[in-house]
Amino acid sequence: MEQLLREAGFTGVEVVDGVIYARSDPTFPEFTATQSGRDWLFAQAWPLRATPAQIAQWTAQHPDAPMDIYQGETRITLRATPENLTLWADLTRAMVAQCVAWRRATRQRDEGM
């Protein structure tokens, strides 16, 4: 999987204690890939606590990549295979964009970045 991620254009790919860390975009936090049987479990977290309604909306729209709260952050997961690496990259971009939009919606108009 490590080599497949590199070939698919993921950046910062490294393995630590059997867990693969990589980025779908150089500006995003790392995601993890851990082997789960023949598949891999990919997980991307973002430092935001989505509401239950937001989580339900995301998961309804993306049933293959359910959203939850893990260690205080919003997270999506995907049972990944070599065939759905492009889907994972698209999902992480969509998740980050959604989390940023949710965060911006909670700020007051005069609040800084």
Most confident of 37-41, 57-61, 83-87, 106-110: 57-61
Name the residue among 96, 107, 98, 106 with its Cα closest to residue 30.
96
The verdict on pTM exceeding 0.75 is yes
The verdict on residue 18 lying in a domain is yes
Residue 109: what pLDDT? Answer: 61
- pLDDT tens digits for range 13-47: 999 999 999 999 999 999 999 998 888 999 999 99
Does residue 6 form part of some domain?
yes
Q: How many structural domains are present in the chain?
A: 1
- CATH number for the domain spanning 23: value is 3.30.1460.10
Q: Is residue 67 part of a domain?
A: yes
Question: Residue 111: inside a domain, yes or no?
Answer: no
| Residues spanned by the domain of 99 | 2-106
In a domain, 41, yes or no: yes
112 in any annotated domain? no
Is 60 part of a structural domain of the chain? Answer: yes
pLDDT at 66 over 60: yes
